[in-house]
Structure 1
Amino acid sequence: MHYVCPACESENKLDLTFPVEEYVCQTCSHLIDATGNKQIKHLKVPTENVVLDVGQKGKIKGVEYTVVAIVVKKYGNSIFWREYSLKDSKGNDAFLSESDGHWVFLIPIHPDDFKSKNSKLPTYAGRTYRWYENSQCSIDAAAGFFDEHLDFSIATYKEYVNGTRMISQEKTSKKSQYFYGEHISKYEVKRAFKIAHLPYYTGIGIVQPYYFDTRQALNIFCVAALMICLLQLYVYTSRTNETVFEQSINFTDVKDKELVSKSFTLSGGSAPLKVNAFSAVDNSWANVQLSLVNESTNEVVYTSKDIEQYHGYEDGESWSEGNQSEDFNLCGVTSGQYHFLISAEKDGTLPSFSGLMSPDSKVTVSRDRSGIIGITDLLSGQTTTFTDGKILEKDSSEVARLAKTSFGTQKLDSLINAEALRLTSDPISSNTYVQLKATWLPVSFWNFGFILFIMVALFVAMWIGKHFFNVNKWKNSSNTPYTTS
């Protein structure tokens, strides 16, 4: 349609399919009576937070609409909201209402469809709505084309809410209208009309949905919990504790080097590998360094464990602490082929002893913890020391020759090491090995329970959050269903 403004003689064009009663000139902002082609009054131009233009097209719920008019309404002196009048190709009406960045899509409904047996709890389409509040407003600014005369008198709005739906009754001195509205996200409006920017929303809108769909979340959590339970049941019934490695390692065999264990295979789901380490420590300590090597990926998991046990008497009472056995877990071990790299050390190095006498009773041998060997000539009573057995074997002194002759062997080092274990009274020295045992456990129930706890906690937090969300949504209503302090 084509209209020439009688005030400024500018053209106003728009492809419309309905009869126009009034329009606002796009150039001079005068309200024009289209039938009499005369100016009525000058209007304020809608500008603040107005994001749609008259004539702009967009598709909502599969229907293409044209923006035919924009009206800014005012409540009190500082509260404003914007209403965009829409028309489809058949001339049907629809409206987009935006307040503080929250959008509602509305369509007119017949008053008889809105049943009101209870003035505060009427029904529409099988849903019960709760009266929210009454408000009075007037037109502050306007633009576009109108199929009826604008009413600048005070209008009363009565709003009823059910979740993300609402019924709005607009009542003026001339007529009363009802509208059914649903929340529409600003992103949907942005896509529908291809808008670059939209107003940021503040506060909670009257039909704004909660941030999470608690019913859908409950269904997801229930399905996830059921699947986790079935998986846990399968893994638990298909697996038992399985000893995959067991070996005693002499400290002398791993001194300054690592022992490579035999390979072993783990089959099944990811689970903890429990390792037990035992050493006969007595007022001493031992340490085990263990590396689990995945032979397919060469991934290495390293751990170290101290084994300590001490005891004694103090103030007439005995005390003890530590243990000769320690357990630790390598968590989340997957199936595959593995082996261990093992090294270990202990408090003290060699068994100490004294009083090893030769068969001819001419010499005695002793050794301290540091490995120093003492040879005593019983005839002269003199003692000569050597740093270790190998040096003693190579020594050509008189006392060394006497020892070799008295014991009848050149291999004194081997003899001393063998006899030391028999003669030693030192508990530290007599501890010669560490025993390792690795057991692959079933999947831990701790992880299973923790996941279920997290899901329950999340749902409870969402439910509590929804309660406070609704309390804040209804805090401006005089008919709130929530207790207020």
Structure 2
Amino acid sequence: MHYVCPACESENTLDLNFPIEEYVCKTCSHLIDVAGNKKIKHLKVPTENVVLDVGQKGNIDGVEYTVVAITVKKYGNSIFWREYSLKDSKGNDAFLSESDGHWVFLISMHPDDFKGKDSKLPTYAGRTYRWYENTPCTIYAAAGFFDEHIDFSVATYKEYVNGTRMISQEKNAKKSQYFYGVHISKHDVKRAFKIAHMPYYTGVGIVQPYYFDMKQAVNIFCVGALMICLLQLYVYISRTNETVFAETINFADVKDKEMVSKSFTLSGGSAPLKVNAFSGVDNSWANVQLSLVNEKTNEIVYTSKDIEQYHGYEDGESWSEGSQSEEFNLCGVSSGQYHFLISAEKEGSLLPAFSGLQSPDSRILISRDKSGTVEVTDIYKGQPITFIDGKTLEKDTTELGKLVKASFGTSKIDSLINTEGLRLTTDPISNNTYVQLKATWLPVSFWNFGFILFIMIALFVAMWIGKHFFNVNKWKNSSNTPYPANDN
């Protein structure tokens, strides 16, 4: 196809053969009548946001098309959109319409296939379409080759929408045409015509699909929920929560040192190890340092936990805070052979202070202060003698030491002092001498199961609400919107 412009004598060519009636010279932008080989009028050149050129080829749905014409149409004073006329190698027509960066691919259709076109809800190919809007427009700029004379009079577009599909009626003084259109993503257009830059899109396109396919999302969520339920059922049937460690630790036994626990085995996949720590704190605190050691890899997980409990009476009301028991998890512990390294401390002395431990024969009186110093008094002589601790007294071979053993009738004086000291003391801090530790392996956990299901449901609800507002925004420029005015 080859034409010489009568206005500027430049050549205009196109790699297609189909009858044309007018073309716009690419050099001088005059509209040329082919039959009379004369210029008709000068036209504006389509430039703003125009990304395709006349003669450019692209492949859409396996069919190669050539851009034969570009028309910019105007609505009102400031609303423009672009229409690219396409032809395939057989001369069949197709169109690409772009507005605010949103693209629609259209083909001609027979008017008789559009049933009930005079109503607001006509049908086509078994689908019901809703009347969107009437849009009067004029041609603002044009370029390329046209197989019929360009009509510069006001034309009216009547648009009907069904999801990502639309029917567009173009009506002017001479004729009425119908086009069937579907949304096409800008990425598909860019790939089809190998375009470097695409116009930015704003707002929501008239047939733009929602960002998520809700039917596909329902299927994915249902399949995911079913798999999670089956996995949880398998875990529940095949595994049980198991207490793997339970021991009472005396503060005195771990003073300034660590205690190594017995080994225990964890079997199964990674799961939390729940640890419960109890100590009889009373207006005081205790602290436990716990290290979980993997005996194969020597990997150590360290944690420290404070146990605090305080209470009192103030302004006529009693108050309390804290607890004698604390619980925490070591998360993601894998299977293997483990042991604990344990150390602990508490507020106050490890040994209770007391006085008034009297021997059965009323001959000896023993007391102990908070530092552990033991004071022994021979009641008959009334002379007190001090010892560093109960073990020193137990090993004493003097006359007083022999008298103590004889009066109490036992050689284990240190154990007697510790035992009776707990009974005699009224200091709650001193009475607290131990911490109890219990570790439970938790391969069966319903928390993660429930949390994942909750997230899936919340995500689906958010997507559903988002779709509603998406559709409200899509129809906000329509006078026939199906959504109430307070939703806009």
Q: Write the distance in 2 (CA, Å) between the matches of 1:324 and 1:260.
A: 24
Task: Return closer, same or farther for 1:21/1:370 CA change in 2, 3 Å cut-off.
Answer: same
1:350 paired residue number: 351
Q: Write the distance in 1 (CA, Å) between the matches of 2:315 and 2:3.
A: 111
CA contact (8 A) 1:51 1:195 kept: yes
Q: 2:39 aligned with 1:42, yes or no?
A: no
Q: Write the distance in 2 (CA, Å) between the matches of 1:275 and 1:372.
A: 36
- Give the counterpart letter for 1:19 in structure 2: P
Deviation at 1:275, TM superposition (A): 2.4
Q: Write the distance in 1 (CA, Å) between the matches of 2:474 and 2:321.
A: 62
- Give the counterpart letter for 2:29 in structure 1: S
Q: Write the distance in 1 (CA, Å) between the matches of 2:383 and 2:10.
A: 132
CA contact (8 A) 1:359 1:407 kept: no
Q: Which stretch of the first structure deviates more once superposed, 285-294 or 340-349? A: 285-294
Task: Return closer, same or farther for 1:319/1:474 CA change in 2, 3 Å cut-off.
Answer: closer
**SS of structure 2 residue aligned to 1:234:** helix
Q: 2:474 aligned with 1:477, yes or no?
A: no
Q: Percent identity of the aligned residues?
A: 81
Task: Return closer, same or farther for 1:23/1:371 CA change in 2, 3 Å cut-off.
Answer: same
CA contact (8 A) 1:285 1:308 kept: yes
2:240 paired residue number: 240
Q: Write the distance in 2 (CA, Å) between the matches of 1:193 and 1:33.
A: 30
1:367 paired residue number: 368
- Give the counterpart letter for 1:202 in structure 2: T
Task: Return closer, same or farther for 1:323/1:19 CA change in 2, 3 Å cut-off.
Answer: closer
Deviation at 1:75, TM superposition (A): 1.1
Q: Write the distance in 2 (CA, Å) between the matches of 1:469 and 1:3.
A: 48
Task: Return closer, same or farther for 1:310/1:453 CA change in 2, 3 Å cut-off.
Answer: closer
Q: 2:420 aligned with 1:423, yes or no?
A: yes
1:66 paired residue number: 66
Aligned alpha-carbon RMSD (Å): 3.0
Task: Return closer, same or farther for 1:469/1:317 CA change in 2, 3 Å cut-off.
Answer: closer
2:455 paired residue number: 454
Q: Which stretch of the first structure deviates more once superposed, 307-316 or 3-12? A: 307-316
Deviations 1:19-48 (A, max 9, x none): 222111111001111222111111111111
CA contact (8 A) 2:240 2:444 kept: no
2:88 paired residue number: 88
Q: 2:133 aligned with 1:136, yes or no?
A: no
Deviation at 1:60, TM superposition (A): 1.0
Deviation at 1:478, TM superposition (A): 1.9
Deviation at 1:393, TM superposition (A): 9.4
| TM-score of the aligned structures, taking structure 2 as reference length | 0.88
**SS of structure 1 residue aligned to 2:143:** strand
Deviations 1:309-333 (A, max 9, x none): 6678899999877655444433443
Q: Write the distance in 2 (CA, Å) between the matches of 1:11 and 1:60.
A: 29
Q: Write the distance in 1 (CA, Å) between the matches of 2:218 and 2:104.
A: 27
Q: Write the distance in 1 (CA, Å) between the matches of 2:98 and 2:131.
A: 20
Task: Return closer, same or farther for 1:296/1:134 CA change in 2, 3 Å cut-off.
Answer: farther
**SS of structure 1 residue aligned to 2:220:** helix
Task: Return closer, same or farther for 1:4/1:470 CA change in 2, 3 Å cut-off.
Answer: same
1:444 paired residue number: 445
Task: Return closer, same or farther for 1:62/1:298 CA change in 2, 3 Å cut-off.
Answer: farther
| TM-score of the aligned structures, taking structure 1 as reference length | 0.89
Q: 2:218 aligned with 1:221, yes or no?
A: no
Deviation at 1:256, TM superposition (A): 0.9
**SS of structure 1 residue aligned to 2:291:** strand
**SS of structure 1 residue aligned to 2:451:** helix
- Give the counterpart letter for 2:475 in structure 1: W
Q: Which stretch of the first structure deviates more once superposed, 438-447 or 326-335? A: 326-335
Unaligned runs of at least 5 residues, structure 2: none
Matches within 5 A, 1:93-112: 93-112=93-112
Q: Write the distance in 2 (CA, Å) between the matches of 1:450 and 1:34.
A: 72
Task: Return closer, same or farther for 1:295/1:64 CA change in 2, 3 Å cut-off.
Answer: farther
Q: Which stretch of the first structure deviates more once superposed, 143-152 or 313-322? A: 313-322
**SS of structure 2 residue aligned to 1:268:** coil
Q: Write the distance in 1 (CA, Å) between the matches of 2:172 and 2:78.
A: 21
- Give the counterpart letter for 1:50 in structure 2: V
Q: Write the distance in 2 (CA, Å) between the matches of 1:205 and 1:318.
A: 66
Unaligned runs of at least 5 residues, structure 1: none
